[in-house]
Amino acid sequence: MVQSHNRHPFKIFSGNSNRPLAEAIASALGTKLGDVEVGRFSDGEVCVTANESVRGCDTFIVQSTSGPVNDHLMELLVMIDAFKRASAGRITAVMPYFGYARQDRKAKARDPISAKLVADLLTTAGADRVLTMDLHADQIQGFFNIPVDHLQAAPALAAYYKRQLKTLGKENFVVVSPDAGSVARARKFSQKLGDVPIAIVDKRRPRANVSEVMNIIGEVEDKHCLLLDDLADTAGTLCHAAEALMEKGGAASVSAATTHGVLSGKAVENISKSPIKEFVIMDTIDIPEEKRIDKIRVLTVAHIFAEAMERIYEELPVSTLFN
């Protein structure tokens, strides 16, 4: 429960992208979501009606920019504008999943840098602060000229896998990076588990959403492997890596863990057919019931966001949540 001498009230609102998570965050803070209607005009334009005052309030808007990405992004922008014009004291855009984060640089000539564009849109709309989790690229924080608190799901994931380590034993467990770009993430996570070994799947990506495994770097034979990534879109990368670990590497078993379950296209089918034993996803994106197959286990990050929001409100450091 938020208890403060801060004279400005604390209010949480939610768009339509992930209301279950927003409700869980509000519950963890001992409050309820604010009364706002986020709908559509007949031509599809976003319509926002706030049914309570936010004047002078520390206002948090919980909205993942997950699919349909453009609809949810526009909802967030219009909500920020509505609250800004209603004289909200400070507006924090709480974005458990930050869409467009994969377009963070010019990979080839004439590419846009869409992550920077989204940062500019949020700032222009009137956001005073952004609270997000596991950005695809850390440097996106630098695209903003407002404070960005970048939370990590690793502590929650580590707590889950530490319980499994007690059964399996550290010597039989390997954290695997599904590509060279995720090595730093795998190394940090292995340290949280007490310095378990790491391995790397060397792949190439001939085109978007297609990956081919080349080699496995590290010892995985007869080991229980955990593939770790920041997001699963079509899940092709993780599924191909799992096949390689079992067939080329001789792994005893393969599990996967990712913060953001985008799960587009044939993702659920790919996971279902893959040798992945368990696929752990955080609830930064709302996973509909039809996608919650037996292999998929959803863990919550509500408590992490709740504590971060309380700390922002109380003007306390958020960095303690990284440990």
Catalytically annotated residues: 203
Which of 175, 259, 177 is closest to 213 using CA atoms? Answer: 177
Instruction: Please name the residues in contact with 258: beta carbons below 8 A apart, sequence gap of 6 or more.
Output: 228, 229, 230, 231, 232, 238, 279, 280, 281, 282
Distance of alpha carbon 226 from alpha carbon 312, whole angstroms: 33
Contact 276, 254 (CB under 8 A): yes
Strand partners, 176: 199, 227
Contact 180, 199 (CB under 8 A): no
> Which H or E run includes 235?
none
- Rounded to 10°, the helix 302-313/154-168 angle is 140
Give CA–CA dist 241/140, Å, rounded.
Answer: 27
Name 134's Cβ contacts closer than 8 Å, sequence gap at least 6.
Answer: 150, 151, 152, 153, 230, 231, 259, 260, 284
Q: Which runs of E-coded beta strand occur in the chain?
A: 10-14, 36-40, 46-50, 58-62, 90-95, 129-133, 148-151, 173-177, 198-207, 210-217, 224-232, 253-261, 276-282, 296-299
CA distance 13 to 28: 14
Phi-psi region of 154 (alpha: psi -120 to 50; beta: other; left: phi over 0): alpha
Contact at 8 Å (CB) between 82 and 59? Answer: no
